[in-house]
Amino acid sequence: MTQRHALDYFFKPRSCAVVGASKDPAKPGHQCLAAMIRAGFSGELYPVNPREQEILGVKSYRSLTEIPGPLDLVVLCTPVEVVNHILDDLGERTKAKGDVRAMVVTTAGFSELCTEEGVARQETLVKRLSEYGVRLMGPNCLGVIDTRGKVDTTFLLGVDMTPGGISFVTQSGALGAWFVQAWSSHPGPVGFSKMVSLGNMADVNIVELVEYLGQDDTTTVIGLYLEGTGDPRALLEAASEAAKRKPVIVLKTGRTSEGGRAASSHTGSMAGKDQIWDGAFRQYGLLRVNTMDELLDAMRSFDKLPLPTGNRLFVITHAGGPGVYTTDLVFETGEVVLATVGDEVKQNLKRSLPPHANVCTPDGLIDMTASGTVAQHAWATEYLLSQPEVDGAMVMDMQIPFFSIAQLSRELGETYKRLRENGVSKPLLAVMLHGRWAEEGRALFEAAGVPTYDSPDRAVAAFRNMVKYASIKRRLANRHRWNGSWEAPSGVARMLTETAAQGLLEKYGVSFPATKSALTLDEAVSAARQIGYPVVMKVLSPDIAHKTEVGGVCLDLRDEDGVKRAYTMMLESVGKSAPGARIEGVLVQKMVSGGVEMIVGGLVDPVFGPVIMAGSGGILTELVKDTVFRLAPVDREEAMAMLHQLKGYKMLLGFRGKGPYDVGALADLIVRLSELVCKEKIKEVELNPVKVLKEGCIAVDALMWAYAGS
C-alpha cells in the first residue's frame, strides 16, 4: 500500500471531526459542518459539542475521545479561550488511539495579534500538536477545500464543488473567499481542485504546499496570493521545480513598499523589496500578475486551453470599434502580435465572408461587420486555427437581434472540439460583450471547454500570460537548483577606499582603467605623466561615497597645468562640502571615452541574501531608474536576460550610427560580480559607470561596503 503524504490528510481524509459545531447558523462551527455536508463528504463526519446530541441531522459527540474513530482530520472552530482544553482532549485521544493526523484551526487570537500573549499561545499550539504527531493548518485561517475529496472546512456561502485543475493557495482568507465565490458566480461555474487558506502558517507553510501541489496529479495550474515569507529562496526553488511541469502564477502585494533599509549606494537605494521579488519571479520561472482578475483569468485559461507555440494571435469579430481597440491591446507590450497569413489564405477568407468584411486590415484582424453569420464565424475560426502562421484565436462578438451568442457558442464549441480531435491544439479565447445579454452563450462556451471573458483586455492579457509561460517552460527545462548557501554577515560594514575596492574586484576579473593613488600634488602630476593624458582625478576618502556631489571628481585633464588646477580646486571644494571627511589623497585614472554607461551592483539583503543588479548607468542612474534585479549567483544566460529587460538595452545594440557594443562582456561582468557577492563578506558593491565598449567593458568607479575580514 502506498504511503500517504502528510498533507493528504487535509485533502483526502477518511473521517473528520468539527470541534465547536453548533446549531446556531451565526456560528462558524455551524457553517463549517454545513459546508462539509453540502460538499458531499463521503467519510465519517463527527460534530463535537458537549451540549448537543445531534447537529444538522448528524450525531454529535461530547469530546474527541468519545468518537469511535478512526479519525484523520480535526477542524477547530472554538473560541481561543478553550483551545488548550481541546488540546488536552486531543492529547488523550492520540495517546489512546494515535489516529489524528491533521488539524485545521480557523480560530483567531494567536500571533496575528502581535502580542506576547498571542505569540505564546501559538507557540504552545504548535508544540503540543507536534508532540501528538498532528500537522497544523493555520491558525486564523479559512482552511481547505478539495473538490475531489469533497472537503470544505470553510464557512463560505455558495461554493460550487465542480472539479477542475486549478489549485489556489492564499495568505489571506478574504482572498480565498474572493477566489471561490468568483468561480461559483462565473457563467458556467469554473472547476477547481483545491483552495488553501494558510492563516498564520505556524506549521504547514506555503513552501510545503507548493511542493505538494507541484506533484499533485489533479492540479494543472497553481495560483498563489503572496504577502511575504521569511525564506523566499526556498519558496522560489519549490515553485520553480513545480513550474517545470505546470504554471505557477503569483499575485504578490506590496508593489509600492520600499525595503525599509538605509542604503548608501544607488544599488541599495533602488533595491525595494518588490524589485527584488519581481526579478526573482522572472529568474525562477514564476508568472507574476498584477490584479486579481488577471490571476483568475490566467488560471482558467491554463486549466482549459493548450499552450500556444508562439505569440501570433488572430482576432475575429463583427464589431469594428472593439476590433481596433483590441489591436492596440495586442501590440502595447510587444509580447503578442497579430498573426500574418499568406495571400492565398486572405483570398479564401474574402471569398467566404460577407462582401463588406474587413479582412486583414491590419493583418491578424477580421471585422465581418453585422452581416457576418454564425456559420461564417465558425468557419473562419476553424480555417484560421488550422493555419501554421496562427498560434491562437480570439472571437469577440456581442448579442444583437439577428445574431445569437448562444447559437455561436454551440457551433464554435463543436468546431473547437473537432479541431482538437483532429490534432489542432491551439488556444481559443471567447470575448462575449454586453454583460447579461451574453450569459447564456458564455455558459455554453465554458461547458464546451472554451474560457470566456467579458472584455478584450482580459482575454489579451490571458493569451499574453500563456505565451509567457510557454517560453518559461522551455527555459526551465534545463534549469538546475542552486544548492549553495549563504550566511548573513555580522558586525558593521565599512566603506572601503576605491583602491581597496578595486583590489578585491580585480580578483574577480573586473577591469579598471590604469589608476594610481597620490598623496601630494607632485605625486598627482607624476601619476598623470606615467598614465598618459587625458586623465581623471578623484578624491580618495573612506567617508565620501558620491564624489561628484562634493566636487570630488575632475574629468578630461589634458596637461600638467590642468592637473595642478584640478588638485587645488578639488581639495578646496571637498573641504567645504564634506568638512569632516578623512582625505587620503587622490586617484589619478586614465580617461575612458566613448561607449555606453551602465551600472552593475550587488548587495546582501537580510531576507533574500545575495542580490545582483544591472541598469542604465552614469549620473542619470537615479533619475532614469532603469534597473533590474536577480538573486545571486546568476549564470550568463540569466545575465543576458537581465540586459534584455532594460530599456537601455537598445543603446547597447547600437543607436544613431554608434555601436554595437560588447553586450557579452557586460553579461560576463554581471556573472563575476554575482559570484563576489556570494563569496565575500560584502554588504553592498557598485560599479557606476561601467563603460561598455565595442570590445570589452571597463569599470571606471567602484563603491564597496565590506565587513571585517573581507
Read off the DSSP letter of residue 21: -
- Three-class DSSP category at 481: coil
Confidence grade of residue 692 (pLDDT, cut at 50, 70, 90): very high
Residues in the chain: 710
In a domain, 317, yes or no: yes
CA dihedral for 395, 401, 403, 408, sign (positive or negative): positive
Q: Do 173 and 243 belong to one domain?
A: yes
Please say if the pLDDT value at position 27 is more than 50: yes
CATH of the domain at 612: 3.30.470.20
CA distance 32 to 43: 15
Last residue in a domain, options 434, 455, 476: 455
Grid cell of 523 as nine digits: 605625486
Q: At what angle do helices 521-531 and 560-577 cross, to 10 degrees?
A: 130
Confidence grade of residue 642 (pLDDT, cut at 50, 70, 90): very high
| Burial zone of 293 (CB within 10 Å; 0-12 exposed, 13-18 middle, 19+ buried) | middle
- Three-class DSSP category at 38: helix
Pairing of the two strands 553-557 and 535-539: antiparallel
- Report pLDDT for 69: 81
Please say if the pLDDT value at position 279 is more than 50: yes
Confidence grade of residue 434 (pLDDT, cut at 50, 70, 90): confident
Please say if the pLDDT value at position 326 is more than 50: yes
Q: Do 195 and 133 belong to one domain?
A: no
Confidence grade of residue 261 (pLDDT, cut at 50, 70, 90): very low
Closest-CA residue to 677 (of 699, 704, 657): 704
**Least confident interval from 71-80, 381-390, 539-548, 695-704:** 539-548
- Phi and psi angles of residue 460, each rounded to the nearest 5 degrees, phi first: -65, -40
342-354 pLDDT per residue, tens: 999 999 999 999 9
Q: Do 663 and 681 belong to one domain?
A: yes
Pinpoint the alpha helices (H) of 50-195. 83-96, 116-132, 173-184
Q: Do 339 and 381 belong to one domain?
A: yes
In a domain, 85, yes or no: yes
Q: What is the 3-state secondary structure (H, E, C) of 257-297?
A: CCCCCCCCCHHHHHCCHHHHHHHHHHHHCCEEECCHHHHHH
Mean pLDDT, rounded, for 430-454: 87
Place of cell 451540549: 51
457: Cβ contacts below 8 Å, ≥ 6 apart: 329
Grid cell of 649 as nine digits: 538595452
Confidence grade of residue 269 (pLDDT, cut at 50, 70, 90): very low
In a domain, 463, yes or no: no
Mean pLDDT, rounded, for 204-213: 97
In a domain, 396, yes or no: yes
602-633 pLDDT per residue, tens: 999 988 999 999 999 876 667 778 899 999 99
- Report pLDDT for 656: 76
CATH of the domain at 20: 3.40.50.720
Q: Do 567 and 660 belong to one domain?
A: no
Mean pLDDT, rounded, for 416-442: 90
- Three-class DSSP category at 462: helix
Q: Do 642 and 535 belong to one domain?
A: no
In a domain, 562, yes or no: yes
Amino acid identity of 513? P
| Burial zone of 593 (CB within 10 Å; 0-12 exposed, 13-18 middle, 19+ buried) | exposed
- Provide the residue range defining the domain that includes 244: 156-304
Mean pLDDT, rounded, for 636-646: 96
CA distance 678 to 636: 16
CA distance 362 to 367: 10
- Report pLDDT for 607: 86
Last residue in a domain, options 533, 564, 590: 590
CA distance 660 to 643: 14
* Long-range CB pairs of 519-526, under 8 A, 24+ apart, other chains included: 519/584, 519/585, 520/585, 521/564, 521/567, 521/568, 523/585, 524/563, 524/567, 524/586, 524/588, 525/560, 525/563, 525/564
CATH of the domain at 519: 3.30.1490.20
- Report pLDDT for 267: 39
134-148 pLDDT per residue, tens: 999 999 999 999 999
CA distance 54 to 698: 79
Please say if the pLDDT value at position 271 is more than 70: no
455: Cβ contacts below 8 Å, ≥ 6 apart: 431, 433
CATH of the domain at 251: 3.40.50.261
CA distance 428 to 426: 7
Closest-CA residue to 196 (of 217, 180, 220, 182): 180
Last residue in a domain, options 538, 557, 590: 590
Q: Do 286 and 325 belong to one domain?
A: no
407-428 pLDDT per residue, tens: 888 999 999 999 999 999 999 9
Q: Which residues of 431-440 are buried (b: 16+ CB within 10 A; e: fewer)?
A: bbbeeeebbb
Which has more pLDDT, 372 or 167? 167
Q: Do 316 and 350 belong to one domain?
A: yes
Domain count, the chain: 5
Please say if the pLDDT value at position 209 is more than 80: yes
Beta strands in 490-618 (DSSP E): 494-495, 515-518, 535-539, 553-557, 586-590, 596-605, 609-616
In a domain, 504, yes or no: no
**Least confident interval from 61-75, 110-124, 434-448, 653-667:** 434-448
Contact assessment for residue 358 and residue 320, using Cβ atoms and an 8 Å cutoff: yes
Confidence grade of residue 176 (pLDDT, cut at 50, 70, 90): very high
Grid cell of 77 as nine digits: 472552530
Highest mean predicted confidence (pLDDT) among 437-441, 543-547, 689-693: 689-693
Confidence grade of residue 262 (pLDDT, cut at 50, 70, 90): very low
Mean pLDDT, rounded, for 561-589: 94
Grid cell of 131 as nine digits: 508532540
Closest-CA residue to 319 (of 395, 429, 374): 395
Confidence grade of residue 709 (pLDDT, cut at 50, 70, 90): low
DSSP codes joined into one string, 179-221: HHHHHHTSSS---EEEEEE-TT-SSS-HHHHHHHHHH-TT-SE
Mean pLDDT of the chain: 92
458-490 pLDDT per residue, tens: 999 999 999 999 999 999 987 777 776 777 777
Mean pLDDT, rounded, for 634-641: 95
Q: Do 434 and 311 belong to one domain?
A: yes
- Report pLDDT for 689: 93
Q: Do 51 and 103 belong to one domain?
A: yes
Place of cell 485521544: 93
In a domain, 372, yes or no: yes
Q: Do 123 and 178 belong to one domain?
A: no
Q: Do 332 and 211 belong to one domain?
A: no
- Report pLDDT for 668: 98
- Report pLDDT for 184: 84
Read off the DSSP letter of residue 111: G
In a domain, 393, yes or no: yes
Please say if the pLDDT value at position 690 is more than 60: yes
